[in-house]
Chains A and B, each alone.
Chain A
Amino acid sequence: VMNDIISTMFNRKFMEELFKPQDLYSKKALRTVYDRLAHASIMRLNQASMDKLYDLMTMAFKYQVLLCPRPRDVLLVTFNHLDAIKDFISDSPGILNQVDETFRRLIETYNPLSDGEFQLIRQTLLIFFQDMHIRVSIFLKDKVQNSNGRFVLPISGPVPWGTEVPGLIRIFNHKGVEVKRAEFSTAGNYVTPQREGSFELYGDRVLKLGTNMYSVTRPVETHMSGSSKNLASQAKENIAPNPLAKEELNFLARLLGGLDIQKPAGDSGFRLNLFTTDEEEEHAAQTRPEELSYKVINIEATQEPARRAELSRILGELDVAEPRPGSAGKGEDLLALMDGL
């Protein structure tokens, strides 16, 4: 199962598509791609378990992005993820190679970005996660999340690499010579960091964010009551479906579905239940607050000429602003790519 999911995720064509500069996916689109990934092996999940898994992933990711000491650390977090993934498939050289390829591509694309550019990326991600406060029991237990669903932001510990421990005021005269030093104190209790994490293919990342949360086995629960106050407004945003988005998703799904997926024949598959019993899972499905349902789009991952015609028709109906020099519309690029497959 691990091999199937990981090799699907790191499929070269899929990665190429992901590395293209583009806007963030909508929440619906992201959930749909995630569903497809989660079903890339013989493993199956019911709606309730799928929802729970997605909630967990969302909140864990939000936590990691939010707590990055420096904006650039989102890249270190990514590298931590990849290091852990490589560990899972360390005895499959083919898949390991795919992951290393992606690793190299990340290094090539992102290492040179400035702090300002990383902060822009981080802000974009944080806006996506705004107002999500699902409580995750492993986070509650470890005291990284409060009972109101908000994450704990510690005001102690090492400062980010490149930052000084707060407290010093230095005054310089008109010649640039330091003439005075003063200190101020606050509630914070910070210390100097020991070293910077490595941005190479191999190395000590130093940062613990993004390492395996489950290296110690614990029960996992998510709680949604009380966290859905602001989601009603969010749900309204996503009501009008973007037809072009659906066609793009079909394309992505085709890329993901391009590998041989073993359909479980009779009892040879297995179903993952994230709840303690089947009854609990069923109950969760029925009692999930309306605002938190993900309204997954159904995707058919088969090639149909009708789909391409549909895409052309949709594009034809869209108002195209005056063409910018040197860049074809996004839909045209997609069509060209589909022609090539």
Chain B
Amino acid sequence: SVSPQAAWCELPSRVLLVLTSQRGVQMYDADGSTMVFWHALDVPELPAAHSVFARGIAAAGGRFVCVGTSFGAVLVFDIPPKGTNVTLSEVLEQHRDPITDMAAEQGQAPDGAGDLVTADDSGTLCLWSSGEEFALLGKIPGSGCTCSSVALWNGIVAAGYGNGQIRLWEAGSGRIRAQLSAHARWIYAIDLAPLTGKLLSGAEDSFVHVWKLSRDPDTDDIEVQHCHAECVTDTQVCGARFCDPAGDTFAVTGYDLSEILCYGPA
């Protein structure tokens, strides 16, 4: 069975705590005291061998909460400013493989770049523009390697893969702009600090890396600098997140680790 996921979905009017599991999706008030909404997954016609679960959560367009599913569909929920009248507004069916992760634009999207990216087991990435009806702006085909984690910032998709590679894609054109042989094992976590363009990656190889993304103003090429490496000895890193929007501090979790490790400037 799949581990449950939890994510804060920040919307202008409210913050929801969204949980995914094998049953479906649950949404709670920010303090976790009231369940606002739940959605049980419809089990589609699939061979019995395939498990059904929800995975991948993102708040998009200041109004929607999107959740991925193991059958490749992305559920779009329309969230009212308050109350429990959440409705399933759309089901996006562009992925053919289980959704792994999704992310909303954290900075300023250039024209035509979209504000949501969704990723799946085959490494396929879809770029969307949110709204009453979501529009598919582009699809980056996978090359067989699972895209396990994804972030979107200023029209750059930062994608972490099961083979330890990080790829940076131009959201508007779908072209690859950087390839990093970042880790020796499956990447579990990718995070971005929107104020500085710092990128965080955590993987099963015990390493957490901090990178700095920027744009060359003349060529518009993406530049990547490696800033810092942290080795969490004998631990497979499962989660890594910046704790502040500038990326000065970050937190790490790992398999068999009952603590959350926090790293910051000396």
Contacts and interface: CB of A to CB of B under 8 A. Distances in A.
Contact of A116 (B162, B226, B233): B162
B252 to A, nearest CB: 14
B165 A326 contact: no
Given A123-B3, A155-B231, A163-B163, A69 B178 contact: no
Overall SS of chain B's interface: loop
Contacts of B98: 116
Nearest to B203: A166
Nearest to A150: B234
A5 to B, nearest CB: 29
B223 interface: yes
Interface stretch (A27-35, A167-175, A212-220): A167-175
Contacts of B144: 115
B222 A163 contact: no
Contacts of A124: 1-2
B100 interface: yes
Interface string A58-70: 0000000010011
A186 B208 CA distance: 11
A21 interface: yes
Interface in B218-254: 219-224, 226, 229, 231, 233-236
A131 interface: yes
Interface in A156-179: 159-160, 162-174, 176, 179
Contacts of B148: 119
6 contacts: A114-B122, A116-B97, A123-B2, A174-B177, A174-B221, A326-B45
Contacts, number: 148
Interface of A: 21, 23-24, 66, 69-71, 114-117, 119-120, 123-124, 126-127, 130-131, 133, 146, 150-153, 155, 159-160, 162-174, 176, 179-180, 182, 184, 186-188, 190, 230, 324-327
B229 A187 contact: yes
A164 B221 contact: no
A165 B165 CA distance: 10
B130 interface: no
A182 B120 CA distance: 29
Contact of B177 (A166, A172, A190): A172
Contact of B184 (A24, A179, A190, A230): A190
Interface stretch (B10-18, B75-83, B152-160, B168-176): B168-176
A186 to B, nearest CB: 4
Given A119-B162, A166-B164, A174-B220, A24 B1 contact: yes
B3 A187 contact: no
A336 to B, nearest CB: 15
A325 B46 CA distance: 11
A188 B186 contact: no
A179 B221 contact: yes
A71 B49 CA distance: 18
